[in-house]
Amino acid sequence: MATVERESAAREAPAAQPEGIFSEGDGHAVLLLHGLSSSPIELRYLARYLQNEGFTVRAPLIEGYSAGSREQSMERWVEDAVREFDALAARYERVSVCGLSIGGALALRLVRERPAAQSLVLLSLTLAYDGWAIPWYRFLLDWAYYTPLRHRYRYREDEPFGIRNEALRKKIARAMQRNAFSEVGPSTISLPALHQALRLSRAARKDVAEIETDTLVIHAIDDETSSPRNPRYVIDHIGANFLRTLWLDDSYHMITSDNEREIVARETTQFLRESEVARGSNDASNQPVVSKALARRLRQLAAVGRKKA
């Protein structure tokens, strides 16, 4: 925790307006999708880590989904995400998709549309807001969407802001008072955005069994926003043979910024490289983290495990 505290004090304040992230690397591009009404800032550490490991990294702004843009339907969100994927696929040999929070639901829909994706990484997957810090009246907000409150009420984020680390949480609280968003998400979310997120989550659940893409799931057992029931649904139903799950015990919802962010980045990197090897990549410029024989064995064990389940 001390390391995160020292580093958090040195991080620069977020910009007044959100910006996308792009860095050129090797032939494996990773498309990072941030959370609802937020910005790529919350994926900045992961993006830098992947960049340092040689990946091409793209974390875009999505119209109607990202902070600072006019509200759009969830169908538009998916269309824009697919467009970003296609732009990367036109230039790079492999494209993987990584989604954080509701961005995980968006990633599921994207991969359903583009099954050629190399890998799928789901971080703090949110298919329902059912964590221990969600207020009891949360289920009423979708109903309120159909009332005059639709254009007036905004759901306000409150402590712990998805952060277990107390020093970083205090920093985030100050940032929330000054800006519409911070490195862990927005200060408020509109009812239309929440409504579209619910529609997206329902759509994401629908076709999980049809997804065969190599999948990594990382989730905090104490996630205050999205309970472990969310990733377990995907783990139990997804059609992937190469499936890995990692449970964290020292983070809350924003695992890309909290105490175990380095673990998240390292495990994501390792999984992406293992997926390359298991898929039979012949790119000699990428040094695999495991041998081809071990990668093949991982696939076999995953398949056997799923059959027994």
Rounded average pLDDT per 10-residue block, the chain, 309 residues? 36 56 96 94 96 98 88 95 98 98 98 97 96 72 64 64 84 67 60 90 94 97 95 97 96 95 98 90 41 51 55
d(CA 254, CA 185) in angstroms, rounded, equals: 9
CB atoms within 10 A of CB 148: 8
The sign of the torsion formed by the CA atoms of 172, 175, 181, 182 equals negative
How far apart (Å, rounded) are the C-alpha atoms in residues 173 and 289? 39
pLDDT at position 227: 95
User: What is the model's pTM?
Assistant: 0.80
pLDDT digits (tens, 9 = 90+) for 99-125: 999 999 999 999 999 999 999 999 999
Helix, strand, coil % in the chain, rounded to nearest 5: 45, 15, 40
- What is the spatial distance between Cα 263 and Cα 251, in angstroms, rounded to a whole number? 11
Amino acid 58 reads: R
Nearest to 223 by CA among 35, 8, 78: 35
Strand partners, 121: 98, 216
Concatenating the DSSP letter of every residue in 198-254 gives HHHHHHHHHTGGG--SEEEEEEETT-SSS-THHHHHHHHH---SSEEEEEESS--S-
Question: Where residue 142 sits, what CATH number does that domain have?
Answer: 3.40.50.1820
Domain carrying residue 136: 2-308
Between strands 94-100 and 56-59, the pairing is unpaired
Average pLDDT score over the chain: 83
pLDDT at residue 132 in the model = 86
In the chain, the number of structural domains is 1
The two structure tokens encoding residue 158: 């409150």
